[in-house]
Structure 1
Amino acid sequence: MKIKHPILKLVVSCLCLNSTYAIASPIFLNNGKVQTSNISSKTPGTILSIKEENIDLFTNASQRFLITYRSRGVRSEPIVTSGYLLLPKGKVPQGGWPVLAWAHGTTGVADTCAPSGDYAGGPVHVYQQIAAKALNAWLARGYAVVAPDYQGLGTPGGHPYMNAQSQLHTVVDAVRATHLLKPYKFSKNWYVMGHSQGGAASLKVAADGQKDAPELNLRGAIALAPGGYQYQGIAEYVATHSQIETSVAAFFPIVLLGAEAADPSIAPANLVSSDMGEILNYARNRCLSELQSDLKTAPKTVFKPNVNLTPLTNYLKKQSIDNMTPTVPTLIVQGDKDQLVDYSGTYAYYQQICKTQKPISFHPVKNGDHRDSLRQSEFLIGSFINSVEQGKTVNTCNSK
């Protein structure tokens, strides 16, 4: 059996282990080999395999590790998740390195879309180049960075795209995994930052992360162009427009396949037209960047006539960021010319949170597109972190 994907190699190496062998706290011996632990462990955050890799794009990192770890899925079931871990340069501070959990944006649902498996010329490489600059800014400030791939990206099972509970679990458990990397020392203090899909994940973590991991100290959250405001609206839009844009046709299969991965009864193959069915099948094995470049025209029809979309829209509504109320200081950054995440929707969410009197700040990026919020984040994190650490109010709700 040949396995080309580097993350899948790590996972298979775990699955092939004798279950009597276990490493509770993996130590990397700097010999380039994969180290593995007991796949039967159900403890969230348990590191199952670890391998050192080149720092590549992360010029401010001293070391980079590809990891698989135990997490929890849509229904809190034990799952294997992959990701990468970056250590900053310099000496470890007395209390240990604080941690940033990075929640990446939409890449797709196929295994090849996992950012930790990125390579030059790969389907997520352009996005990774932009993300790396943002993460290098955290590394420069002395933060360790852990970046989960989410459930089912590069690991067994489907990817339940935008499922709030699954994304919460994979992010929180990645931070737990970081603390098991010995002999390194990490602070209990951590932040979460996410873009697009990851922006929604960071808002879910901001709402429930401290409750989910009370042994850690979640300090704040940064949501960059967070998707998912009135998330059911995308299905309603597609259903009510006779001709959708090509960009929507490229993205919508990811929404459908993600819903199916979380709830197989939704079965999008039974909902869509034959033309859309071809795109749907293509999306099972291709990333968003490939869909965007390869799809030249949108199908004339998306859904079959008279299909019942209620189960789909009900599921999507449950994943909406409208349901998330941050309990820690939160910064939202949004480009006002974003064509993928509607500025007015993000702002409406911000106003919704303002009414709850929670500490939230909104930073618009003038003439900014979808990725400009990510590009600008490296220049905004310093002020946000300093305000949080100094106990200053993080709130722009009363600003004009």
Structure 2
Amino acid sequence: MVRLGGWFSRLPRWARAIVGILAIALGAVIISRPTTSLDLLAWLIGAGLVLSGALELIARAEAADPDADDAVPSRWQLVKAIVWVVAGVLVLVLPGLTVRLVAVIVGVALIVNGVLSIAAGFRGRITLDARIASFAFGAAGIVFGVLALVWPDITLLIVAVVFGARLVMAGLVELWHAIRGRRSTRPQTDVDAPPRGWRRWARTIAAVLALALAAGAASVSGSLLQGSPVVDEFYAPPRVVPDEPGQLIRSEPFTRDVPSNALGWRILYTTTRGDGSAAVASGIVVVPRDGDGAWPVIDWTHGTTGFAENCAPSLAEHPFESGALFVLDQVIDNGWALVASDYIGLGTRGPHPYLIGPDTGHAALDAARAARQLSAARLGDVHVVWGHSQGGAGALWTGALAEEYAPELDIAGVASLAPASDLPALVRHLPEITGGSVFASYVIAAYTAIYPDVNARDFVRPGARVTVEQMARRCLAEPGVFVSVLNALALSRDPEIFSQDPTQGVLGERLAQNVPPPTISAPLLLAQGAADPLVIPAAQRAYADALCAAGQQLDYRDFAGRDHVALVEPDSPLIPELFQWTKDRLAGEPVETGCVFSER
């Protein structure tokens, strides 16, 4: 390797110029396309690592004596070059290399180079500024390496920008020296000979800035990690849990985002999974503070908040808005109560059955049962189910299962708002929209956890598996979802996270099983935004047509210009119609038989 370093030092000017140009070009590509395909980005970084090793040998072979014809790298430079080259070769040649392994290789390479830089700073014959630079660059490398290991799915994106810039600068310096006909003496993180003039101070300043950047990145990383909700002891079931579903286990006052004219509790209760096994779920109950009680109940099934246990709405900073309920004030002002299930596996022990119908319907119905045992809430007998998105499908399943599963509950109506109804069409469409991969990750996590015959390896591309796994661990309402957004942008350049059509095979069969059936005995309102990019209006209309063909009564309303969330925001034209429709259901007003389709 020492001879190789000497050979590199004697490269002709044109060869060194080519190496510099390659470094500039490769660095520019990496910087300009950090959200390219993660698989391609891994290859680019692998090539960049190898090129960094070559630049290390070329630029440092004569550090001790720039004029020596047989100058060779020092042992520190050799080890650093070896680390870069070996890391790059591993990334390039290992077949089917995963993003997680790339993150480990890059992270370890950064840490090792950081340690070597710090070790080089302890050498005796070195100026104070060079020693500081060596320590600072080394510490920065270690920090970036640790961050690479902490955030394996985002490592390539972050490293792309930092590493790409490093390649461009190194390439420019090498090209400049090749053109001038001088041996390269570009500044590095662990310089053996003291530089002269302004370069001495520039190197030190650059080192301090690199360390400051690393410290800032570490601080942001800590904030993202600390911003995630934490599951507390309230959600842990007792040793003895009632056998019967819908039994209240415990309750405690709840005030977060509860209106001043209302009282709130969070509850823990028993329920049943779709396979008949017992489970525990949590939820929130809110009632008007003043009045005689017997409040009509809105059973709210919330929109997507995540898949992990800490993604329960009752744990979120804004527990109602996180699931797209923006009109709690109006619910209370109308003299109604709210019962909102967190669902199984959110707050309580998972896995969370994301977009798995029977489990969700059971959790909502059992929340209504358990809330009735909360004597201080003074709930009435009549219920109307509301739900949006994931909860829109949950509302449909709640209505479809109510008559058989909880016949004692008086369900006066079901309002399903932009529901995730046609699951095969939804999942097939998710990779095509920005951010859709986040929702796809929740589907993949849930279906592989709930159904033994569904395996992610059968339908998720190897290069996307770690990214999908990490996405599924983050809640939509936590700061860490920013990382998922960056990953979604990365996947948008290569949207096929699925290795095959997810609507075919076992996964397709399971998705079809969870399409809400036309067995809703209560009056049904289905509202859809005509500009919804997530739940496609055409697919929603096809689902509605199928309901009607099966004999389901339906009031279908299409709202022009409204997208997925805007449909349920306070200024939406749906809101006054939803409240009036609910008042009519609570008053027992008759509904028109058959199906009615209208545009708003």
> Normalised by the size of structure 1, how large is the TM-score?
0.82
More divergent stretch after superposition (284-293 vs 133-142): 284-293
Higher gyration radius (CA): 2
1:61 and 1:86 in contact (8 A); partners too: no
Amino acid at match of 1:10: F
The question of whether the paired residues in 2 share the 8 Å contact of 1:7 and 1:82 is answered with no
The residue aligned with 2:233 is 9
Q: SS state of the match for residue 266, structure 1? A: coil
1:209 is paired with a residue whose SS is helix
Task: Using CA pairs under 8 Å that are at least 6 residues apart, name the structure with larger relative contact order, 1 or 2.
Answer: 1
Shift of residue 80 of structure 1? 0.9
1:23-72 deviation digits (Å, cap 9, x = unpaired): xxxxxxxxxxxxxxxx4212111112211122x32326521111111111
Cα drift, residue 234 of structure 1: 4.4
Q: CA deviation at 1:211?
A: 2.2
Match of 1:163 among 326, 350, 356: 356
Question: In the alignment, residue 233 of structure 1 is paired with which amino acid?
Answer: A
Deviation for aligned residue 1:324: 3.3
Cα gap change, 1:140/1:310 in structure 2, threshold over 3 Å: closer, same or farther?
A: same
SS of 2:414's equivalent in the other structure is strand
Partner of 1:364: 558
Q: 1:50 aligns with which of 251, 272, 276?
A: 251
One-letter identity of the residue aligned with 1:11: Y
2:522 to 328, 335, 348: 328
Tell me, yes or no, if the aligned pair for 2:557 and 2:597 is still in contact at 8 Å: no
Residue pair 1:53, 1:64 contacting (<8 A) in 2 also: yes
Match of 1:113 among 297, 311, 319: 311
Please tell me whether the aligned partners of residues 445 and 469 of structure 2 are also in contact (alpha carbons under 8 angstroms): no
Residue 84 of structure 1 and its aligned partner are, at CA, apart by: 0.9
Q: CA deviation at 1:245?
A: 4.2
Partner of 1:312: 507
How many matched pairs?
360
Secondary structure of the corresponding residue to residue 149 of structure 1: strand
Q: Distance in 2 between matches of 1:395 and 1:198?
A: 25
Greater share of residues in strand: 1
| Cα distance per residue 1:132-151 (max 9 Å; x no partner) | x3233222221211111111
**Alpha-carbon distance change, 394 to 261 in structure 1, aligned in 2, over 3 angstroms:** farther
- What is the CA-CA distance between 1:228 and the residue it aligns to? 2.5
| Structure 2 residue 425 is the aligned partner of structure 1 residue 233 | yes
Q: Deviations over 1:91-143 (max 9, x none)?
A: 124xx1121110001121012221110116xxx78635x51x32332222212
1:251-281 per-position Cα deviation (integer Å, ceiling 9, x unaligned) = 2111111112221331214532232112222
Distance 2:501 2:379 in 1: 55
Q: 1:308 to 1:380 in 2, by over 3 A?
A: closer
Q: For residues 309-365 of structure 1, what are the alpha-carbon distances to aligned partners after superposition, in whole Å with 9 as ceiling and x for unaligned?
A: 5111100110113x3332110111111000111111222222333334543212222
For 2:514, the aligned partner's letter is Q
Return the offset for 1:160. Answer: 1.3
Structure 2: unaligned runs, 5 residues or longer: 1-227
Is 1:40 the counterpart of 2:241? The answer is: yes
Match of 1:378 in 2: 575
Residue number in structure 1 paired with 2:475: 287
Q: Against the structure 1 CA distance between its residues 228 and 288, is the aligned structure 2 distance closer, same or farther, given a 3 Å change threshold?
A: farther
8 Å contact from structure 1 (residues 193, 223) kept in 2: yes
Shift in CA distance, 292/285, structure 1 to aligned 2, threshold 3 Å: closer
Shift, 1:81, TM fit = 0.4
In 2, Cα distance between the equivalents of 1:9 and 1:107? 21
Corresponding residue for 1:30? none
1:268-296 per-position Cα deviation (integer Å, ceiling 9, x unaligned) = 14532232112222123202461652322
In the alignment, the residues of structure 2 paired with residue 338 and residue 387 of structure 1 have an alpha-carbon distance, to the nearest angstrom, of 27
SS at the partner of 1:101? strand
Is contact 2:427–2:503 with CA below 8 Å preserved after alignment? no
Question: 2:438 corresponds to which residue?
Answer: 250
Contact 1:208 1:327 in 2 (8 A): no
Match of 2:289 among 89, 100, 117: 89
- The 3 A distance-change label for structure 1 pair 378 and 41 is same
1:387 aligns with 2:584: yes
Contact 2:271 2:279 in 1 (8 A): yes
**Residue 152 of structure 1, CA deviation:** 0.7
- The one-letter code of the counterpart of 1:63 is L
Counterpart for residue 382 of structure 2: 189
1:206 to 385, 390, 399: 399
What letter matches 1:360 in structure 2?
A: L
- Paired residue type of 1:58: V
Aligned to 2:273: 73
Matching residue of 1:266: 454
Name the amino acid aligned to 2:372: H
Alpha-carbon distance in 2 for matches of 1:235, 1:350: 18
Q: Which residue matches 1:341?
A: 535
**Cα distance between partner residues in 1 of 2:526 and 2:380:** 25
Taking the aligned partners of 2:471 and 2:333, their CA distance within structure 1 comes to: 37
1:326/1:358 contact within 8 Å kept: yes
Question: What is the CA distance between 1:184 and its match in structure 2?
Answer: 4.0
Distance 1:350 1:217 in 2: 24
- Could you tell me which residue of structure 1 aligns to residue 11 of structure 2? none
Contact 2:308 2:350 (C-alpha < 8 Å) held by counterparts: no
1:152-195 Cα offsets, whole Å, 9 max, x none, are 11111211111111011000000001111024432221111000
Which amino acid in structure 1 is aligned with residue 235 of structure 2?
Answer: V
User: Secondary structure of the equivalent of 2:327?
Assistant: helix
Residues 7, 379 of structure 1: CA spacing in aligned structure 2 closer, same or farther, 3 A cutoff? Answer: farther
Unaligned runs of 5+ in 1: 20-38
Q: TM-score scaled by structure 2?
A: 0.56
Distance in 2 (alpha carbons) for counterparts of 1:386 and 1:87: 17
Structure 1 residues 7, 219: CA separation in 2 closer, same or farther (over 3 Å shift)?
A: farther
Alignment check: 8 A CA contact 2:361 2:394 kept: yes
Taking only the aligned residue pairs, the percentage that are identical comes to 24
